[in-house]
Structure formats: C-alpha cells, structure tokens
C-alpha cells in the first residue's frame, strides 16, 4: 500500500498524469516500477526496440539524437515531472533517440503490456492521457517546422 500510495503521489506531480484523480491513478501506480540510475547512464538507446514509458520523478535526462556520432545533438532535457518513451506504449518500433541521465535519476516505468491491460480495463482514463500526448506531439511538429 505504501509503494502504491507514493507512486500515485509521484504520478500526480507529472504533466502526463496531472489531470487524473486518485482513483484513475491507481491502476497506473499498481503497474509502475521504480528504477534508479546513476549520472551518465543510458536509459534507452536509439535504435533499440521501445517497450515502455518513463516518468522522471527525480533528477534529469538528456534526449540525444546520434549519440557518439559527429551529428550528435541534444533534442531536449527532461526533469522531474516530465516523461519520455510515450510512443512505445502503442507503437512497436525502434527508439528515435538515446536518453542519458544528467545526474542521479529516478523514473517510474510502465511497460507497453501493462499499459495495454489498463487500456482494456479503463478506456476513459486512457483517452485523457492520449489528449496530453497528442498536445505534446503537436508542439513537436510546430518546433520541427520552424
């Protein structure tokens, strides 16, 4: 109970889950796992198959394209309250970037398979999350077009 409660609190502080009430957060909190990483750790690697969503609850990460190549560039930095890997919840495709921790970082991780289970049991909640993801992707397209 204490893990689930603290996971609910952590999720409620993030931009993705902020619009959900305690009852709606429950299924996600029950399925999430807390992972910790030291500074400089590659959480995901560009080209690897994406398997889930990461919600940063402590620390910060850089999302990097072309890591280790002359074309390497930091796309964005995500700090506590942010998230990455959302497309892996529904698309089985390679990661588009490498994510590297800037400092000691904690993330709640939700796998594609657990997300699918939640979606089947709680479709209205999933719709709320999809609205947040769609707004985020819309913003990325505007930045890319500029």
Q: pTM of the predicted model, to two decimals?
A: 0.86
CA–CA–CA angle 74, 79, 80 (5° rounding): 160
3-state secondary structure the chain: CHHHHHHHHHHHCCCCCCCCCHHHHHHHHHHCEEEEECCCCEEECCCCECCEEEEEEECEEEEEECCCCCCCEEEEEEECCCEECHHHHCCCCECCCEEEECCCEEEEEEEHHHHHHHHHHCHHHHHHHHHHHHHHHHHHHHHHHC
Is residue 106 classed as helix, strand or coil in its secondary structure? strand
Q: Residue range 33-42: average pLDDT? A: 98
Domains, the chain, ordered by start: 2-112+125-140 (2.60.120.10)
For the chain, give the number of residues. 146
- Which tens digit of pLDDT belongs to each residue from 79-137? 999 999 988 998 889 999 999 999 999 999 999 999 999 999 998 888 888 888 888 77
Question: What does DSSP assign to residue 130?
Answer: H
Q: By C-alpha distance, which of 15, 65, 13, 59 is closest to 37?
A: 59
In the predicted model, is pLDDT for residue 16 greater than 80?
A: yes
Q: Residue 1: its pLDDT value, please?
A: 42
């Amino acid at each position: 109970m204490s893990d689930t409660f603290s996971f609910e609190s952590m999720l409620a502080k993030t931009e993705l889950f902020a619009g959900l009430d305690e009852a709606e957060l429950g299924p996600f909190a029950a399925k999430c796992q807390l992972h910790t990483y030291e500074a400089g750790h590659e959480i995901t690697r560009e080209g690897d198959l994406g398997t889930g969503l990461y919600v940063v609850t402590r620390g910060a990460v850089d999302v990097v394209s072309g890591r280790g190549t002359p074309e390497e560039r930091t796309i964005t930095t995500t700090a506590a309250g942010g998230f990455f890997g959302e497309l892996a919840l529904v698309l089985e495709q390679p990661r588009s970037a490498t994510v590297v921790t800037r400092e000691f970082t904690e993330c709640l991780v939700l796998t594609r398979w657990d997300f699918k289970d939640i979606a089947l049991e709680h479709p209205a909640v999933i719709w709320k999350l999809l609205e947040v993801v769609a707004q985020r992707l819309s913003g990325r397209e505007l930045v890319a077009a500029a």
